[in-house]
Amino acid sequence: MAPLFRRRANSLAVVILVGILALLVAISVFAYVVYRSPYQTDVGYAPEQPVPFSHQHHVGGLGLDCRYCHSGVETSDFAGIPPTLTCMTCHSQEWTNAEMLAPVRQSLTTETPLSWTRVHDLADYVYFSHRAHVNNGVGCESCHGRVDKMPMTVQKAPLTMKWCLSCHRNPAPNLRPLDEITSMGYSPATDGASGQMLMQRYRIHPDTLKECATCHR
Ligand code: HEC
Ligand code: HEC
Ligand code: HEC
Ligand code: HEC
Ligand code: HEC
């Protein structure tokens, strides 16, 4: 009797141990998945806005260039959000009474800017510059995705350090000629030769791009 009982107790202990181990593994896998998930990195973040502005209509439909509204993108660190006057160049004639545009008209008469909610927001200890990318062959689409297909603006890239570095280690396949910078649906230099040619044209040296001080200064 006694030995049999002990063997059972042993196997019970083994079952419990295996169970605890499996649970621990499951918890850490779950934690890792959550940590790495879009939820954690804000991929897919598309906040509610004061006016339901659609890039799909204005870029995809009307064919406006990004720089028409984001005029700082080539000359400063920030792309900039257009002032109400930019909207009014058209909307003083188009859709003048639309309910949807009431906040835009109100912003004009009260001279208070619309309070857009930021979609992308890097931590303050990270230095980022639009000018540095846009003038060196990195197109909007490489970081923001198919904006021309967005009825609501949504974050497409994780904006983690790993993501920045994956391009800084090997920028060549992500480069395009300057006249394609704001194009949507353009495939960057996918063959090695044209990538290397663009690396030379823009005088890009990947070694300094990996240094901490490039992004943390
Ligand atoms: C007619 C003006 C207009 C044009 C043209 C335009 N945008 Fe915008 N864009 C806006 C406005 C207004 C916002 C703020 C509201 C929003 O986030 O949807 C915005 C927001 C954005 C944001 C998110 C900013 C944030 O808060 O992080 C990105 C990215 C962006 N635009 C990229 C582009 C790109 C790329 C193009 C060209 C393919 C483009 N836009 C063309 C008006 C415009
Ligand atoms: C170059 C002209 C032009 C500019 C600049 C412009 N719009 Fe429009 N917008 C239009 C036209 C045309 C339509 C009607 C689109 C349609 O029905 O296809 C429209 C439609 C809209 C609508 C209705 C919803 C939709 O997308 O169909 C909203 C809201 C809107 N615009 C907001 C804005 C805001 C905010 C700005 C400034 C950041 C702006 N627009 C700048 C031409 C413009
Ligand atoms: C190398 C990646 C990259 C490229 C290329 C890029 N962006 Fe951005 N963009 C970002 C990041 C990262 C942020 C968030 C910056 C922050 O939070 O300080 C951002 C923010 C923005 C914003 C909102 C804040 C601001 O800067 O005023 C707009 C609008 C925008 N981008 C438009 C554009 C347009 C238009 C282009 C192309 C002409 C473009 N971006 C190219 C990565 C990029
Ligand atoms: C798709 C490719 C790509 C992505 C993604 C990217 N970069 Fe860059 N970055 C470049 C290229 C190309 C340059 C230009 C290099 C040069 O001037 O030689 C650059 C330049 C820079 C510079 C200027 C360096 C200097 O010495 O002036 C900074 C700062 C920078 N990147 C920060 C970032 C940060 C932060 C992120 C992520 C949020 C990021 N980049 C994502 C390709 C990229
Ligand atoms: C190409 C740009 C870039 C370079 C180069 C870079 N970082 Fe970062 N780093 C970032 C970004 C972007 C974040 C923000 C990550 C986030 O919010 O998830 C970050 C975050 C961090 C953090 C905060 C903790 C974390 O992981 O979120 C530390 C610490 C850090 N970086 C250290 C370094 C060190 C050390 C180096 C050099 C070996 C370095 N970084 C090089 C872009 C860069």
- pLDDT profile of the chain (217 residues), mean per 10: 57 75 72 56 91 97 98 97 95 83 93 95 96 97 98 96 96 95 89 88 93 95
Give the CA distances from residue 199 to residues 75, 174, 208, in Å, rounded to whole numbers and listed in that order.
21, 10, 14
Q: How far is the CA of 194 from the centre of ligand 5 (A)?
A: 30
Q: Which residues line ligand 2 (CB under 6 A)?
A: 51-54, 57-58, 61-62, 64, 69, 82, 86-87, 89-91, 94-95, 100-101, 104
Ligand lying nearest the CA atom of residue 129: 4
Q: For residue 17, what are the contacts with CB-CB under 8 A and spacing of at least 6?
A: none
pLDDT at 40: 64
Q: Which ligand is nearest to the CA of 40?
A: 5
Cα–Cα dist 205/207, whole Å = 6
What's the pLDDT at 35?
55
167: CB partners within 8 A, 6+ apart: 138, 142, 174
Q: Is 157:43 a contact under the CB 8 Å cutoff?
A: yes
Cα(67) to centroid of ligand 1, in Å?
10
For residue 124, give the amino acid letter.
Answer: D
Alpha helices per DSSP H over 49-93: 55, 66-69, 84-91
pLDDT for the residue 98: 84
